[in-house]
Amino acid sequence: MRRSASFLAVLMFSILVTVLLADLSSAVAGGGNCQDKLVGNSYNCSFVNSNGSSGSECIEFNVGVYSSHFDAWYGGIDEYGCACDPQGSSFDASSNTYECSAPSSSPSNSFLLIGKINGKKLSEQGLAADGFQYTETCKLSSSPC
């Protein structure tokens, strides 16, 4: 009786350790694509423009309206369609990099935005058709924009 109780305890402990290790490895790997990491989150950002000006803004990522993947709202004013970068021949697969662009109905906001996720931080750069550029760094916010 005692031996079977010990065996059962060891078996249960082994199962628990296996589950915890599997959960930890998926958390370390980051699981999913960048959309899984961004949608539903807001980020507080500081930017610098190529004309020397600087400032701050809040970016909020939501289910896509312009994009079939996801959208980014910049300061609650400008919305861009986004997708995770491809990896090899698998589109929208990257877990850490994404690109966004303005819809064709917004020529005054014709930016290409390139972003990278690093834990709870984002780094982005933007390029307008006329050569205007900006870079920004962002931190995950605990509240919506």
Q: In total, how many domains does the chain have?
A: 2
87 and 62 co-located in one domain: yes
SS3 17: helix
Is 62 among the domain residues?
yes
* Number of neighbours of residue 81 by Cβ within 10 angstroms: 19
Question: Which range, of 1-5, 54-58, 72-76, averages the lowest pLDDT?
Answer: 1-5
Do 130 and 62 sit in the same domain of this protein?
yes
How many CB atoms are located within 10 Å of the residue 144 CB?
Answer: 12
Q: Are residues 5 and 76 in the same domain?
A: no
- What are 125-145's pLDDT values in tens digits? 999 888 999 999 999 999 999
Question: Are residues 26 and 64 both part of a single domain?
Answer: no
How far apart are alpha carbons 116 and 39 in whole angstroms? 14
What pLDDT digit, counting tens, does each position of 33-62 carry? Answer: 999 999 999 999 999 999 999 999 999 999
What is the rounded CA–CA span in Å between residue 110 and residue 118?
26
Instruction: Tell me, yes or no, if the pTM score tops 0.85.
Output: no
